[in-house]
Chain A
Amino acid sequence: MISTPSSMPWFAAHEWRLMWRDGIAMMTGGYKTRTIALVFTLVTIAALMHLFANAMVGPWIDAGVVADKSTLVLVTGTGFLFWTVMLSQALESITRAYYSRSDLDLILSSPSSSRTLFAVRTGITAATTLLLACLLASPIVNVLAIRDGAHWLLAYLVFGAFSAVATAIAVLITIGLFRLVGPKRTRLISQIIAAVVGAGFVIGIQAAAILHFGNMSRFAFLTDADFIASMPDTGSLLWAPARAAMGEWLSLIVIVVIGFGALAGVIALASSSFGRHAIAAAGVSNMRTAQGHGELAFRPRGQKQQLRVKEWKLLARDPWLLSQTLMQILYLVPPALFLWISYGQTAGTYVVVIPVLVMAAGQLAGGLSWLAISGEDAHDLVVTAPVSGRAVLMAKIEAVGVAVAVVFTPLIALMLFASLELALTTAAFAALSSGSATAIQLWFRVPMRRAMFRRRQVASRVSTIAEALSSIFWAGTGVLVAGNQWLALLPATLAVVTLFVAWSLSPKGKRV
C-alpha cells in the first residue's frame, strides 16, 4: 500500500501502471525478445539523433554562442516550433481524458472525487507532453550542454514550464468548447484545432519562407536579417524563455513560476466541472444524428456500385478521418504555394514538390484503405452477401482510388500548366505510392471496427513500416526520374523489395 485509496498519489500510481503496461504491450506485444530489440533500436536512434544534432549545431557552437538578438530569435522561434507540437499533443490528450470511457464510468460512479482524478490526469498530460518535447529536443540540448556548457541543461526546465502552459491552454480550450458548442462537437473541433496547431506554425513559417525567399527551409525566416531587425531588443520579455534556456536564472525562475502556476490555477478552476463535462461526453454515444428529412428513393445500383457508395458515405461521415485528412491537406499547402510562386519558372524548382505529393498520396491511401478494407463494421453481412470476396475488395479499392484522386487531381492539374512531364511523373509516382499502400493494407487486412482507426498501427507494425518505406522510396524514385537520374533505379528497387518483403510476411490464407 503506497498511499490512501482515492488520494492523488494513489490515482497517479494507478494511472502510471496502466500507461506503462499499455505502452510496453503496444511496443513489444508482450515478447521479451522484442523488448531487447526495442531497447537496442531506441539506443541506436538516440545515438544517430545526437550525431545529426551535432552536425546541425556544431558550426554554431564553434563560432561561439552569444546571447545576441539573432541567437535569441533563432532559439525562441525553434522553441515555439516545439511548443506548438506540445500544445497539439496536450489538446489531444485532454480531449481523450474527457471522452475515453474505459474506466471513467467506474471511477465516476464510485465515491472517489472526480476533482482528484482530473488533477492527476491533467498532470499526466503535462508530463507526457514534456516527455514528447524532450524526446524531440534532447539531442540538440544534450549536444549544446556537452559542447557549450552544462547551463544548457536548464532548457529542460523551460520545456517543463512550456508543457505546463500548453496543458493549461489545452484544458481552457476544451472547457471553452464544451460551453460554446456542446459535448457532441467538442471532440471533433478539438481534433481539428490540434491538427491545425500541430502543423500550422511549421507550415506557416515554411509558407512564409517560400513566399519570401523562394525556398522551403523553415529556418530561412528565423535567420533573415530584416526579420531579426524588426524584432524587439534583447532586453524584451519576449526573449525570457530563450535567456532561461541559455542559463539565466532570473528568467528561468519567472518562466517556471508562470508555467506551473498557470497549470495549477487552471486545474483548480476546471476540476470542479470535470465530472459534469465527462458525464455529458458519455451521453454523446447515445445522441442520434438525423440524416436528411424525407424518405429517400432507393437507387438501382449494381453490387459493386452499392459497395463503393457505402464506402464514400462512411468516409465522408468519419470524424476521425476529417482531422487526419486535414493534416494531410495542410502538409500539401507549402508545395502548392511553391507551385504557385514558381509558375513559369524552370522545371527544376518543381522537383521539391514531387516527393511531398507522392508521400502524401501514399499516406492518405494507406489510411483510407485501412478504413475501407479492414475497418468493416458489418463484416459478417458483406461476407454472407451473394457477392464474391474479390468483387467486394475491388469495389473497396476503387472507392479508395477515387477518394485519393479527388484530393490530388487539382494539384496535378495545376502542375500541368507548368510542365506536362513533371505533372505526369508526379501522377505516376503518386499512383504507385498510393497503390503500394493499398496493396499492403490488402495483404495485412484484419477485420476490425472502424473506431479502431487510431490504433491501426498496433494491428501490424510490419504493414505500418512497409507503408511508410514504400511511400518514401517511391517519392525518391519520382524526384530522381524527374531529374533524369539513372540513380532512380535504386529507390525503385528498394520500393519493390519492400513490397515483396511485406507480401511474404503477410498472413496469407488465414482469411475467409
Chain B
Amino acid sequence: MSETPYALDIAGLTKSFDRPVVKDLQLRVKAGEFYALLGPNGAGKTTILRMVAGLLQPESGSISVFGTDTRTDPLGAKSVIAWVSDEPMVYDRLTPYEYLEFVAGLWQVDSREAQSRATELIGWLGLTPHAHERCGGFSKGMLQKVALAGALVHDPKLIILDEPLTGLDAGSARQVKQVLLDKVRQGVTVIMTTHILEVAERMAERIGVINHGRLVAEGTLTELRARIGRESTLEEIFLDLVAQKEMDGETAAEAAAA
C-alpha cells in the first residue's frame, strides 16, 4: 500500500444501469476525515459507495483506497474497508458473538484479539444482555448495532455507511453517532450517506453533494455557505444546490429541444 494522504481517491468513475447513474465522478476523501455524502433520492450515492466496497463493478474510472487500486488488488482494498448498509447484514440464526467470530474470521483477525474486541464492542453498544441470543428476534436498532459491531471488529481504516441511522430510535442513533465520532478521533476515516442533514451538519468535517451522478458541490459547511453567498442552514444550502442543478438541467433540455 503506497503512502497517500487520501483514504479514498475516485477518478472518472462512471456507472450506468438502464440510464447513467454515476457520471465521470472525481472525489477525494482525506485519511482520518468524517465525510458526509448528501443528495436527493436516486442521485447515485449508494451506487458510488457500493462500487467502493466492491459490491458493484464500475464501467470506467478508478477507485483507490489508501493507495490500493480496487480493480488490481480488490482483496487488499477490502481488508481495510468496512461496509454498513441501511439493511443490517446479519444472520437470524447466529448470536451477536457468533456473528462477530465469523466476521473476524473472514478478515483473519487473531482469535484472541477478536474476542477481546468483540466483548468490548458488545458492551460499548449496549448488547451485552443479548450477546448469546440469536439475532432473529432483534429490533432494527439492535440488528444495526450488531452490524456496526461486525464492521468495527476487524479494526478497519475506512468505514463506509449507507444511511446507518434509518429506523433507529434516538438512543440507538446517539450511540451509533458516538461510536463513529470516537473512531474518527482514533484516526479512522468515515464516509456516510444520510438524509438527516442535521447529522451531516453536526458530525461531518466535509460534505459532498451528489446530484444526477455528479458531485455538484463539496467543502466544509462554511465553504458551502460562502458558495451560495448567505448565512444558511445545511438544509437551505442543500435545497438551493439541488434546485439550481435541476434548473440548469431543464434549461439545457429546453435549449436542446429548441
B134 touches A385 (CB 8 A): no
User: Which among A295, A305, A379 is the interface contact of B97 at CB below 8 angstroms?
Assistant: A295
Contact of A384 with B by CB under 8 A: yes
Q: Is B124 located at the chain interface by the 8 A CB criterion? A: no
B56-A288 in contact (CB<8A): no
Distance, CA A307 to CA B103, complexed state (A): 10
User: B105 touching A301 by the CB < 8 A rule?
Assistant: yes
Select one of B56, B98, B110 contacting A291, CB under 8 A: B98
Q: Are A384 and B55 in contact (CB under 8 A)?
A: yes
Contact partners of A388 in chain B: CB under 8 A: 75
Q: Which residue of B lies closest to A305 (CB)?
A: B105
Contact call B76/A377, Cβ cutoff below 8 A: no
Contacts of B112 in A (CB 8 A): 298
B111 at the A interface (CB under 8 A): yes
Are B136 and A288 neighbours in the complex by a CB distance under 8 Å?
yes
Say whether A181 faces chain B, with CB atoms less than 8 Å apart. no
Asked if A303 meets B108 with Cβ closer than 8 Å, knowing A288-B138, A310-B94, A314-B91, the reply is yes
In chain A, what residue has the closest Cβ to B139?
A: A286
**Separation of A403 and B118 alpha carbons in the complex (Å):** 30
Residues of chain B within 8 A of A346, CB atoms compared:
none
Closest residue on chain B to residue A379 by CB atoms: B89
Report chain B residues within 8 Å CB of A379: 89
Contact yes or no, B106 A318, CB < 8 A = no
Please give, as numbers and ranges, the residues of chain B lying within 8 Å of A292 by CB-CB distance. Answer: 95, 132
Contact flag A377-B83 (CB < 8 Å), given A296-B97, A303-B105: no
| Chain A, Cβ-Cβ closest to B108 | A303
Known: A313-B93, A314-B91, A512-B56. A385 touches B78 (CB 8 A): yes
Contacts of B93 in A (CB 8 A): 313-314, 317-318
Which chain B residues in 18-46 approach chain A with CB under 8 Å?
Answer: none
CB contacts under 8 Å to B, within A280-320, are 285-303, 305-307, 309-310, 313-314, 317-318
Contacts of B101 in A (CB 8 A): 296, 298-299, 306
- Determine whether A387 belongs to the interface, using a CB cutoff of 8 Å to chain B: yes
Chain B interface residue bracket vs A: 35 or more
Alpha-carbon gap, A318 to B83, bound state (A): 27
- Contact count A vs B, C-beta below 8 Å: 121
Query: In the complex the two chains form, is A386's CB within 8 Å of B75's CB?
Result: yes
Interchain CB contact (< 8 A) of A380 among B89, B98, B130, B134 = B89
Which residue of chain A is the closest to B137 with respect to CB atoms? Answer: A288
Residues of chain A within 8 A of B81, CB atoms compared:
384
Interface residue? B104 (CB, 8 A): yes
Q: Is B79 part of the contact surface with A, judged by Cβ < 8 Å?
A: yes
Instruction: Please state if B78 and A377 are interface contacts (CB–CB under 8 Å).
Output: no
CA distance A507 to B223 in the complex (A): 48
Q: In the complex, are the beta carbons of A297 and B115 less than 8 A apart? A: yes
Task: Tell me, in angstroms, the Cα distance from A313 to B97 when the chains sit together.
Answer: 13
- A-side contacts of B173, CB under 8 Å: none
Hey, what's the 0/1 contact readout for A358-383 against B, CB within 8 Å counting as 1? 00000000000000000001111111
A287-B137, A512-B57 known; A384 and B83 CB under 8 Å? Answer: yes
Distance in angstroms from A288 CB to nearest chain B CB is 4
Q: What CA separation (Å) do A507 and B132 show in the bound complex?
A: 40
Q: Which residues of A lie under 8 Å from residue B98 when comparing CB positions?
A: 291, 296, 313
Contacts A300-B111, A310-B102, A382-B106 known; A290 to B55 CB distance under 8 Å? no
Chain A 372-414 near chain B by CB (<8 Å), digits 1 or 0: 0000011111111111100000000000000000000000000
B94 CB contacts on chain A under 8 angstroms: 291, 310, 313-314
Closest to B117 in A: A298
Residues of B within 8 A of A314 (CB): 91, 93-94
In angstroms, Cα B56 to Cα A512, docked, is 7
Asked if B8 is an interface residue, CB under 8 A from chain A, the answer is: no
CA distance A386 to B80 in the complex (A): 9
- Chain B residues whose CB sits within 8 angstroms of the CB of A387 once the complex forms: 75, 106
Distance (whole angstroms) from the CB of A217 to the closest CB of chain B: 42
Beta-carbon contact of B54 and A289 below 8 Å:
no
By the criterion CB–CB under 8 Å, are B137 and A377 in contact? no
Known A291-B133, A298-B115, A384-B83; judge A378-B107 contact (CB<8 A).
no
Give the complex CA separation of A294 and B105 in angstroms.
20
Query: Which residue of the partner chain, among B56, B91, B104, B150, contacts A298 with CB atoms under 8 Å?
Result: B104
Asked if B119 and A295 sit within 8 Å, CB to CB, the answer is: yes
Chain B residue with minimal CB distance to A387? B106
Choose from B82, B111, B119, B132 the contact partner of A299 (Cβ within 8 Å). Answer: B111
Q: Which residue in B76, B108, B132 is a CB contact (below 8 Å) of A290?
A: B132
Given the contacts A290-B133, A380-B83, A306 and B118 also touching, CB distance less than 8 Å: no
- Provide a sorted-by-A list of 11 A–B residue pairs whose CB atoms are within 8 angstroms: A286-B137, A288-B133, A292-B132, A295-B97, A298-B104, A302-B108, A306-B106, A377-B90, A380-B83, A386-B108, A388-B75
Given A307-B106, A378-B90, A384-B81, 9 additional A-B pairs, CB 8 A: A285-B137, A288-B136, A289-B136, A296-B101, A306-B102, A379-B89, A381-B83, A385-B107, A386-B107
* A interface list, Cβ under 8 A from B: 285-303, 305-307, 309-310, 313-314, 317-318, 377-388, 450, 512
4 pairs of A and B residues whose beta carbons are closest in the complex: A306-B105, A288-B137, A386-B79, A378-B89
